[in-house]
């Protein structure tokens, strides 16, 4: 409440979405834009007019685990009370049919009852509770007079064990759900677009508040936007994957400390045509999915969040929150969401490429930029990388180079080519003495 009123900065609260109160606020439209994934990671989709409700009863266990705690506790209590009342009625009927409820003189010996000390429905209800929860007070017990009573005793014990197993399983699954571990994984409230290595880059920060690690952590980015096909068909949900910046072109991360996840906005990026002016009017949502295995329990967990155009800051970058103290690294989470302005043009990545002389049409159009394999002559392969943009002409994502070798009085020139292209050209010439 204090953070909402501006009395305390959000950065000093270890909430799921940490940010500093001094963060510059963006102008938001009056009507809040709908989103598929909320900031807390829950799905923001309402399912209506479902006619086949019976499908949920076919998977009762999952349905009970997905219920809220108040509904689950109500079902648990009702299940025990109903079973106790049902078998209390059975025990009362057995006593009534055997004549055990008739008044007798305690000084005179009478017939042996089916269950001792049952004189009313209340005593039958108490005996039902004692049987199902295995509480023996010593006042009531089943005799060998009625075989039917022994059968009812066995049935109630088996049914009570089944109810206990189901209820305990549901409670355990609800307390050990994977999304509980995700509560200590925090994302920055805002994402930023800032230049990195000369290219516009989409970035956000993710951190883990626990000391226990997330094993085999992977992160995935998707853009959900509304598109229209050439035939005029409106696709309300069009999902496009975004490649996370990684030299190995994989989505694996080592979350030992808060990381800044980045995506270079290049020709193959869905954000290639987004500029500072068009960002506010874009109908898109960037969904972040972090998956991994909990080190302590071995359960696969998933943490989610999303960023709308109002939550993407143009021309800002995150501040450093890591320092080295006494031979170890220290993380200051009060600055987790802090950003600082940087110099960046308001043009989109496409407009920047056009101003630098990169043409839209060319032999390398549509090819992914980044790291890849490059063939050197007819021999082996090597890693090629780097994006070079010339001021006069377009260049591919690697820089062609020529290699000269001297072997047995001959000079051979080998051109580096991309895999799948034409066979390299070789020029041989004799060297004059």
The token pair at 119 is 């004189």
State the pLDDT at residue 247: 55
Q: Span 60-85, mean pLDDT?
A: 89
For the chain, give the mean pLDDT. 76
Whether residue 388 is contained in a domain is answered as: no
Query: 339: pLDDT confidence band, cut at 50, 70 and 90?
Result: very high
The token pair at 51 is 């006619």
All residues at 6 or more sequence positions from 171 whose CB lies less than 8 Å from its CB, including other chains: 72, 76
Q: Are 111 and 212 part of one and the same domain?
A: no
What CATH number is attached to the domain comprising 84? 1.10.287.70
pTM above 0.85, yes or no: no
Whether residue 399 is contained in a domain is answered as: no
CA distance 188 to 337: 5
Q: Are 185 and 318 part of one and the same domain?
A: yes
User: Could you tell me the residue range of the domain that residue 219 belongs to?
Assistant: 181-356
Q: Are 200 and 340 part of one and the same domain?
A: yes
- Closest by CA position to 67, among listed 78, 77, 75: 75
Q: Are 159 and 197 part of one and the same domain?
A: no
In the predicted model, is pLDDT for residue 37 greater than 80? yes
Whether residue 393 is contained in a domain is answered as: no
Q: Are 155 and 215 part of one and the same domain?
A: no
Q: Are 158 and 217 part of one and the same domain?
A: no
Q: Are 345 and 201 part of one and the same domain?
A: yes
Among all chains, which residue has been given the structure tokens 């299940």? 79
Query: 68: pLDDT confidence band, cut at 50, 70 and 90?
Result: confident
Q: Are 244 and 276 part of one and the same domain?
A: yes
Point out the domain boundary residue: 335, 356, 377.
Answer: 356
Whether residue 226 is contained in a domain is answered as: yes
The token pair at 249 is 């072109």
- Tell me the Cα Rg of the chain: 35
State the pLDDT at residue 421: 40
Whether residue 339 is contained in a domain is answered as: yes
pLDDT (tens digit, 9 = 90+) per residue, 403-422? 444 444 444 444 444 433 43
CA distance 191 to 318: 9
What CATH number is attached to the domain comprising 224? 2.60.40.1400
Point out the domain boundary residue: 331, 356, 381.
Answer: 356
């Amino acid at each position: 409440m204090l953070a909402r009123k501006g009395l305390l900065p959000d950065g000093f609260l270890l909430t799921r979405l940490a940010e500093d109160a001094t963060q510059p606020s963006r102008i938001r439209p009056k009507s809040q834009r709908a989103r598929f994934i909320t900031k807390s990671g829950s799905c923001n989709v309402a399912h209506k007019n479902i006619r086949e409700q019976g499908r949920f009863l076919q998977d009762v266990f999952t349905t009970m685990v997905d219920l809220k705690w108040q509904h689950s506790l109500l079902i648990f209590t009702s299940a025990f009370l109903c079973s106790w009342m049902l078998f209390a009625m059975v025990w009362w009927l057995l006593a009534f049919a055997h004549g055990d409820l008739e008044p007798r003189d305690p000084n005179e010996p009478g017939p042996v009852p089916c269950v001792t000390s049952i004189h009313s429905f209340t005593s039958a209800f108490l005996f039902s509770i004692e049987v199902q929860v295995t509480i023996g007070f010593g006042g009531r017990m089943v005799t060998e007079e009625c075989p039917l009573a022994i059968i009812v005793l066995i049935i109630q014990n088996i049914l009570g064990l089944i109810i206990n197993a189901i209820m305990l399983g549901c409670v355990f699954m609800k307390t050990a759900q994977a999304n509980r571990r995700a509560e200590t994984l925090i994302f920055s409230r805002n994402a930023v677009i800032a230049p990195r290595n000369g290219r516009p880059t989409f970035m956000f920060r993710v951190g883990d508040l626990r000391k226990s690690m997330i094993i085999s952590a992977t992160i995935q980015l998707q853009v959900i936007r509304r598109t229209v096909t050439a035939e005029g068909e409106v696709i309300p949900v069009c999902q496009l994957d975004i490649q996370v910046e990684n030299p190995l072109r994989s989505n694996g991360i080592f979350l030992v400390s808060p990381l800044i996840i980045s995506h270079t906005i290049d020709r193959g990026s869905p954000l290639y045509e987004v500029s500072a002016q068009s960002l506010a009017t874009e109908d898109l949502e960037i969904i972040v999915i972090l998956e991994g295995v909990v080190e302590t329990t071995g359960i696969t967990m998933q943490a989610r969040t999303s960023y709308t155009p109002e939550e993407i800051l143009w021309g800002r970058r995150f501040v450093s929150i890591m320092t080295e103290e006494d031979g170890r690294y220290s993380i200051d989470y009060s600055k987790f969401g802090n950003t600082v302005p940087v110099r960046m043009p308001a043009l989109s990545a496409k407009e920047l490429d056009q101003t630098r002389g990169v043409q839209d049409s060319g032999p390398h159009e549509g090819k992914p930029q980044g790291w890849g394999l490059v063939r050197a002559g007819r021999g082996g392969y090597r890693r090629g990388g780097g994006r070079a943009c010339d001021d006069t002409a377009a260049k591919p994502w690697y820089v062609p180079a020529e290699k000269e070798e001297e072997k047995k009085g001959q000079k051979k020139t080998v051109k580096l080519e991309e895999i799948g292209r034409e066979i390299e050209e070789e020029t041989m010439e004799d060297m004059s003495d």
